[in-house]
Amino acid sequence: MGDDRVKTGITGLDAMLGGGIPSTDQIIIAGGPGAGKTLISFEILYHNAKAGIPTAFIALEEQPNTVVKNAKQAFPEFTDIDDLINSKLLFVDGEDPASKITPSSDSQTYSFGNVVSEIEGIIKVNNAKVVVIDSISLLKLMLPDKLIYRKSMIALVSNLRRLGVTTILTSEISSYERSRLKFNEEFFIFDGLVTMYQTGEEDKRVFALEIVKLRGSAHSKALSPYDITSQGFRIFTLEQ
């Protein structure tokens, strides 16, 4: 892996990651609804696409136009999103999640295999180097058997590593509160885990982020507050 890093381009985050995401690592960004895990993942791809690196955002729970619309609304100063999409540096794909879930266990395993094949196909066709899969929570619904799910996720990580891509996978967590966080067992399969929390009331939310693990790499262990602005995420850390 060496010292190669994929820069996120996000103020404060690269410093927390020791310079960026280790190249070809597969990391999870986990958080509850509203924490911004989809948006921060999109922003990472946006900055890489602007740097001329082919990227792909694969939405398993939303239509592509919804993903792009939400990003434009959150980041109005990212005025060149359409240009990056048209130049094929930022590829956005998505589908109605209901179409991917089937009733029987055998069908679910087959459907999971199809999803993985689609992901690999998108990566190869677009020559993507940095990829977001949003979210793996749907994949867990597709494979309720814990052993089969764990084996399937290990295979997915192995395939992504074989393709030589750096991947960010989003996941839901059970609680907004850090003190009540329970780690999903699949988190231990991946190279890194970034968690996003929010506390307080609706009109006084406080957001904070931490790097829980980054296998084989030095990283910040601080819990750092963050804000979502029209110019993107801003993470407040002493390490920037």
Strand positions, DSSP E, 118-239: 130-134, 166-172, 192-199, 206-214, 224-229, 232-235
In this model, does residue 32 exceed pLDDT 50? Answer: yes
What is residue 5's three-state secondary structure? strand
Q: Please, which pLDDT band fits residue 96 given cuts at 50, 70 and 90?
A: low
The answer to whether 41 touches 184, Cβ cutoff 8 Å, is no
Q: What is the mean pLDDT of the chain?
A: 87
* pLDDT (mean) for 129-158: 88
Instruction: Say which CATH architecture domain 5-235 belongs to.
Output: 3-Layer(aba) Sandwich (3.40)
User: pLDDT (tens digit, 9 = 90+) per residue, 53-80?
Assistant: 999 999 998 899 999 999 999 999 999 9
**Of the given ranges (40-54, 85-99, 172-186, 197-211), which has the lowest mean pLDDT?**
172-186
Residues 224-237: tens digit of each pLDDT: 999 999 999 999 98
pLDDT range class, residue 141, cuts 50, 70, 90: confident
pLDDT for 2 equals 44
Instruction: Reduce the DSSP state of residue 26 to 3 states and report it.
Output: strand
Compute the chain's Rg from CA coordinates.
Answer: 17
Asked whether the predicted pLDDT for residue 186 surpasses 50, the reply is yes
How many Å apart are CA 54 and CA 125, to the nearest integer? Answer: 11
Residue 41 one-letter amino acid: S
Q: Which residues pair with 197 in a beta bridge?
A: 208
Sequence-distant (≥ 6) Cβ neighbours of residue 96 within 8 angstroms? 63
Count CA atoms within 13 Å of residue 45 on its CB side. 32
Tell me, what's the pLDDT at 177? 57
Question: The tokens of 123 are what?
Answer: 């990566």
Domains in the chain: boundaries: 5-235
Note the pLDDT of residue 61.
Answer: 86
Element (H, E) at 94: strand 90-94
